[in-house]
Amino acid sequence: MKVIKTKLSGCFVIKPIVFDDGRGSFFESFNQHVFEEKTGIKTSFVQDNQSVSQRGVLRGLHIQKGEFGQAKLVRVIKGKVLDVAVDVRKNSKTFGEHFSIELSEENNKQLFIPRGFLHGFSVLENNTIFAYKCDNYYNKAAEDGVIYNDIDLNIDWKLPQKEIILSEKDIKLKTFKKFVK
C-alpha cells in the first residue's frame, strides 16, 4: 500500500497495490499493521458503513462532535465520488482548509480523514457504492455540520448546481462561520 500525505496534517491518500491477471484483480484494502507503520497513526476501526447513491447526491459536510468524534477511512467500491475533508481543528495550521480527491472503482484510492474534520462527498456516477470505516460509534446527538455551498469554504463539488440532490438534514446545515463560533 502506498500512503501519500495531503496538505492537511493527518489526512492521507492510500493507494493499494493491485494485482491483475487473466482472472481479474486482487488488492488488500486494509492492513492495520501497514497502515500504522506508514502513517504513524494507531487506530482501531469499530464500525463499517456503506451507502448507495445516484449521480448528483451530495452528502455532507458532516462531523461527530466531542467524545463521539470519528476518524474515517473511505473508499468507493463501485462508481465515482468527489470526496472532501475540511480541517476544523482550531489549533491546526490548516484550519478551515479543505482537500478533495476523486475516489473511484478504477483508481481504488482511499482517504483517511482524522478526527476533527468535516467530511462530505458528491456522487459523480449512478449506483455508486461508498464504504467507510469509523474508529468510533455513530451518535445521533453528536451530529453537526456545515452547508455544502458555504462561501468561505468555496468547495467545487464537480457538479452543476441544478443537479445537486440534498437530504432535508443537509439543506439545514449551518455556515462555516456559525459552526466555528
Rounded Cα distance between 13 and 74, Å, is: 10
Per the DSSP assignment, residues forming a β-bridge with 26 are 19
132 catalytic residue (yes or no)? yes
41: exposed, middle or buried (Cβ count in 10 Å: 0-12, 13-18, 19+): middle
Kindly name the residue from 98, 119, 132, 148 that is annotated as catalytic: 132
Three-state DSSP at 20 gives: strand
- For residues 143 and 46, give the distance between their C-alpha atoms in angstroms, rounded to a whole number: 18
The one catalytic residue among 33, 62, 98, 138: 62
Q: Is 62 a catalytic residue?
A: yes
Taking the CA atoms of 153, 156, 157 and 160 in sequence, report the sign of the dihedral they define.
positive
The catalytic site residues sit at 62, 132
